[in-house]
Amino acid sequence: MIDLQNTIIKSLEGYDQQRDRSQQVDIGPSSLGGCRRRVWHELRQSPKNNPTESLGAILGTFIHAGMEKVMTRLDPFGDNYLVEIEIEHEGLKGHCDLFIKDLGMVVDFKTTTKSGMRYLNDRQKLWQVHTYGWLLSKNGYEVKQVALVGIPRDGKMNDIRVIQEPYSELVALEALEWLQQIRDIVEAKTQPPEPEKFVTFCKDYCPYFDPTGEEGCPSMSK
Protein backbone atom coordinates (compact mmCIF):
# COMPACT_ATOMS: atom_id res chain seq x y z
CA MET A 1 0.00 0.00 0.00
CA ILE A 2 1.40 3.38 -0.97
CA ASP A 3 2.45 5.77 1.80
CA LEU A 4 0.76 8.81 0.26
CA GLN A 5 2.04 11.31 2.83
CA ASN A 6 5.65 10.26 2.31
CA THR A 7 5.19 10.23 -1.48
CA ILE A 8 3.91 13.80 -1.45
CA ILE A 9 6.70 14.97 0.87
CA LYS A 10 9.41 13.38 -1.30
CA SER A 11 7.84 14.78 -4.46
CA LEU A 12 7.71 18.31 -3.04
CA GLU A 13 11.30 18.10 -1.83
CA GLY A 14 12.48 16.75 -5.18
CA TYR A 15 10.71 19.49 -7.10
CA ASP A 16 12.16 22.19 -4.88
CA GLN A 17 15.70 20.82 -5.05
CA GLN A 18 15.76 20.72 -8.85
CA ARG A 19 14.97 24.45 -9.08
CA ASP A 20 17.95 26.66 -9.95
CA ARG A 21 17.48 28.73 -6.80
CA SER A 22 17.67 25.62 -4.61
CA GLN A 23 20.85 24.46 -6.32
CA GLN A 24 22.60 27.82 -6.10
CA VAL A 25 25.72 27.60 -3.91
CA ASP A 26 27.25 31.05 -4.37
CA ILE A 27 26.10 34.03 -2.34
CA GLY A 28 23.26 35.78 -4.13
CA PRO A 29 21.31 39.00 -3.55
CA SER A 30 18.80 37.21 -1.31
CA SER A 31 21.50 36.77 1.38
CA LEU A 32 22.41 40.45 1.54
CA GLY A 33 21.38 42.20 4.72
CA GLY A 34 20.50 39.03 6.60
CA CYS A 35 22.45 37.48 9.45
CA ARG A 36 26.16 38.20 8.96
CA ARG A 37 27.12 35.02 10.81
CA ARG A 38 25.02 32.90 8.45
CA VAL A 39 26.58 34.51 5.37
CA TRP A 40 30.01 33.89 6.92
CA HIS A 41 29.10 30.18 7.12
CA GLU A 42 27.80 30.23 3.54
CA LEU A 43 31.02 31.75 2.25
CA ARG A 44 33.07 29.15 4.13
CA GLN A 45 30.72 26.38 2.90
CA SER A 46 30.31 25.11 6.45
CA PRO A 47 28.46 21.81 6.96
CA LYS A 48 24.67 22.14 7.23
CA ASN A 49 23.72 20.08 10.24
CA ASN A 50 20.29 21.52 11.04
CA PRO A 51 17.42 20.39 8.76
CA THR A 52 15.25 23.37 7.85
CA GLU A 53 12.85 21.95 5.26
CA SER A 54 9.88 24.30 5.31
CA LEU A 55 6.54 23.67 3.65
CA GLY A 56 6.07 27.44 3.46
CA ALA A 57 9.29 27.80 1.47
CA ILE A 58 8.28 25.02 -0.93
CA LEU A 59 4.84 26.56 -1.38
CA GLY A 60 6.66 29.82 -2.12
CA THR A 61 8.52 28.00 -4.87
CA PHE A 62 5.20 26.88 -6.36
CA ILE A 63 3.82 30.42 -6.20
CA HIS A 64 6.91 31.73 -7.97
CA ALA A 65 6.51 29.07 -10.65
CA GLY A 66 2.87 30.07 -11.03
CA MET A 67 3.71 33.76 -11.32
CA GLU A 68 6.29 32.87 -13.97
CA LYS A 69 3.56 31.19 -16.03
CA VAL A 70 1.16 34.11 -15.52
CA MET A 71 3.69 36.70 -16.66
CA THR A 72 4.73 34.56 -19.62
CA ARG A 73 1.10 34.34 -20.75
CA LEU A 74 0.88 38.14 -20.69
CA ASP A 75 3.95 38.41 -22.90
CA PRO A 76 4.68 34.99 -24.46
CA PHE A 77 7.58 36.21 -26.60
CA GLY A 78 9.32 38.18 -23.84
CA ASP A 79 9.19 41.44 -25.77
CA ASN A 80 8.60 43.46 -22.62
CA TYR A 81 8.40 41.09 -19.64
CA LEU A 82 11.66 39.32 -18.86
CA VAL A 83 10.75 36.49 -16.50
CA GLU A 84 13.11 34.57 -14.21
CA ILE A 85 16.26 35.87 -15.85
CA GLU A 86 19.71 34.94 -14.58
CA ILE A 87 22.09 37.86 -14.32
CA GLU A 88 25.72 38.04 -13.21
CA HIS A 89 28.38 40.68 -12.73
CA GLU A 90 31.76 40.55 -10.98
CA GLY A 91 31.07 37.09 -9.57
CA LEU A 92 27.66 37.95 -8.12
CA LYS A 93 24.79 35.96 -9.65
CA GLY A 94 21.07 36.42 -9.17
CA HIS A 95 17.72 35.25 -10.54
CA CYS A 96 15.38 38.18 -11.08
CA ASP A 97 11.67 37.33 -10.91
CA LEU A 98 10.56 39.95 -13.42
CA PHE A 99 11.93 42.94 -15.31
CA ILE A 100 9.47 45.14 -17.18
CA LYS A 101 11.50 46.81 -19.91
CA ASP A 102 9.25 49.71 -20.88
CA LEU A 103 9.00 50.77 -17.22
CA GLY A 104 12.58 49.91 -16.34
CA MET A 105 11.12 48.14 -13.31
CA VAL A 106 12.61 45.27 -11.32
CA VAL A 107 9.92 43.18 -9.61
CA ASP A 108 10.60 40.69 -6.84
CA PHE A 109 7.76 38.45 -5.63
CA LYS A 110 7.75 37.64 -1.91
CA THR A 111 5.53 34.90 -0.50
CA THR A 112 4.77 35.20 3.20
CA THR A 113 1.91 35.17 5.66
CA LYS A 114 -0.46 38.03 6.44
CA SER A 115 1.38 38.67 9.70
CA GLY A 116 4.71 38.60 7.88
CA MET A 117 3.65 41.31 5.45
CA ARG A 118 4.84 43.97 7.90
CA TYR A 119 8.41 42.92 7.09
CA LEU A 120 7.97 43.32 3.33
CA ASN A 121 10.09 46.48 3.19
CA ASP A 122 12.84 45.44 5.60
CA ARG A 123 16.48 46.10 4.75
CA GLN A 124 17.22 42.62 3.44
CA LYS A 125 14.40 42.65 0.88
CA LEU A 126 15.10 46.20 -0.27
CA TRP A 127 18.82 45.48 -0.62
CA GLN A 128 17.97 42.39 -2.65
CA VAL A 129 15.72 44.10 -5.19
CA HIS A 130 18.07 47.08 -5.60
CA THR A 131 20.98 44.66 -6.14
CA TYR A 132 18.96 42.94 -8.86
CA GLY A 133 18.63 46.41 -10.38
CA TRP A 134 22.40 46.89 -10.15
CA LEU A 135 23.05 43.54 -11.85
CA LEU A 136 20.59 44.37 -14.62
CA SER A 137 22.11 47.81 -15.16
CA LYS A 138 25.57 46.27 -15.42
CA ASN A 139 24.18 43.95 -18.10
CA GLY A 140 22.95 46.80 -20.26
CA TYR A 141 19.37 47.30 -19.04
CA GLU A 142 17.98 50.71 -18.10
CA VAL A 143 16.67 50.40 -14.54
CA LYS A 144 14.38 53.09 -13.16
CA GLN A 145 12.17 51.48 -10.52
CA VAL A 146 12.16 48.55 -8.12
CA ALA A 147 9.09 46.86 -6.65
CA LEU A 148 8.44 44.27 -3.96
CA VAL A 149 5.19 42.33 -4.33
CA GLY A 150 4.03 40.60 -1.16
CA ILE A 151 1.73 37.61 -1.68
CA PRO A 152 0.30 36.22 1.60
CA ARG A 153 -0.32 32.48 1.44
CA ASP A 154 -3.14 32.79 3.98
CA GLY A 155 -4.69 35.96 2.56
CA LYS A 156 -7.11 37.18 -0.06
CA MET A 157 -6.45 38.85 -3.40
CA ASN A 158 -6.80 42.32 -1.92
CA ASP A 159 -4.18 41.45 0.72
CA ILE A 160 -1.49 41.47 -1.97
CA ARG A 161 0.77 44.47 -1.32
CA VAL A 162 3.19 46.35 -3.57
CA ILE A 163 6.06 48.53 -2.38
CA GLN A 164 7.64 50.56 -5.17
CA GLU A 165 10.47 53.10 -5.18
CA PRO A 166 13.07 54.58 -7.53
CA TYR A 167 16.09 52.39 -8.21
CA SER A 168 19.19 53.52 -6.31
CA GLU A 169 22.66 52.33 -7.17
CA LEU A 170 23.82 53.69 -3.80
CA VAL A 171 21.53 51.24 -1.99
CA ALA A 172 22.95 48.36 -4.03
CA LEU A 173 26.53 49.45 -3.39
CA GLU A 174 25.80 49.62 0.34
CA ALA A 175 24.62 46.02 0.19
CA LEU A 176 27.69 44.94 -1.78
CA GLU A 177 30.00 46.67 0.71
CA TRP A 178 28.26 44.77 3.52
CA LEU A 179 29.01 41.51 1.70
CA GLN A 180 32.63 42.49 1.03
CA GLN A 181 33.22 43.13 4.73
CA ILE A 182 32.17 39.56 5.50
CA ARG A 183 34.34 38.24 2.65
CA ASP A 184 37.28 40.11 4.20
CA ILE A 185 36.65 38.42 7.55
CA VAL A 186 36.60 34.99 5.90
CA GLU A 187 39.79 35.67 3.96
CA ALA A 188 41.59 37.06 7.02
CA LYS A 189 40.48 34.03 9.09
CA THR A 190 39.66 36.25 12.04
CA GLN A 191 36.79 35.89 14.51
CA PRO A 192 33.44 35.34 12.76
CA PRO A 193 30.66 37.91 13.09
CA GLU A 194 28.46 37.57 16.14
CA PRO A 195 25.12 35.74 15.70
CA GLU A 196 22.21 38.08 14.99
CA LYS A 197 19.18 35.83 15.57
CA PHE A 198 17.77 34.09 18.64
CA VAL A 199 17.42 30.33 19.03
CA THR A 200 13.64 30.50 18.49
CA PHE A 201 14.34 31.58 14.90
CA CYS A 202 17.58 29.74 14.20
CA LYS A 203 16.41 26.26 15.20
CA ASP A 204 13.71 26.35 12.51
CA TYR A 205 15.29 28.43 9.75
CA CYS A 206 19.09 28.32 9.89
CA PRO A 207 20.88 25.24 8.49
CA TYR A 208 24.00 26.22 10.46
CA PHE A 209 22.33 26.27 13.88
CA ASP A 210 24.23 24.17 16.41
CA PRO A 211 23.23 24.53 20.08
CA THR A 212 26.68 23.32 21.16
CA GLY A 213 28.49 25.89 19.04
CA GLU A 214 31.16 23.31 18.24
CA GLU A 215 30.60 23.20 14.46
CA GLY A 216 27.85 25.66 13.68
CA CYS A 217 26.29 28.71 15.25
CA PRO A 218 24.70 28.59 18.75
CA SER A 219 22.56 31.69 17.99
CA MET A 220 22.35 34.86 20.07
CA SER A 221 22.45 34.80 23.84
CA LYS A 222 19.95 36.87 25.77
Task: Indicate whether 139 pLDDT > 50.
Answer: yes
CA 137 to chain centre: 19
H/E segment holding residue 69: helix 55-74
Are 116 and 56 spatial neighbours (Cβ–Cβ below 8 Å)? no
Considering only CA atoms, which of 151, 74, 71, 146 is closest in space to residue 109? 151
Rounded-to-integer distance, Cα 129 and Cα 30, Å: 8
Q: How many CB atoms lie within 10 A of CB 74?
A: 9
| Mean pLDDT across 76-102 | 94
Q: Please give the model's pTM, rounded to 2 decimal places.
A: 0.88
What confidence score (pLDDT) does residue 23 get? 44
List the beta bridge partners of residue 109.
149
The CATH code for residues 4-205 is 3.90.320
Q: What is the rounded average pLDDT for all residues in the chain?
A: 89
pLDDT at 82 over 70: yes
What pLDDT, in 10s, does the model give residues 150-190? Answer: 999 999 999 999 999 999 999 999 999 999 999 999 999 99
Cα(35)–Cα(198) distance, rounded to whole angstroms? 11
Instruction: Give the three-state DSSP class for 13.
Output: helix
Assign 4 a pLDDT band (cuts: 50, 70, 90). confident
Per-residue confidence (pLDDT) for residue 22, from 0 to 100: 43
Q: Is residue 20 scored above 60 in pLDDT?
A: no
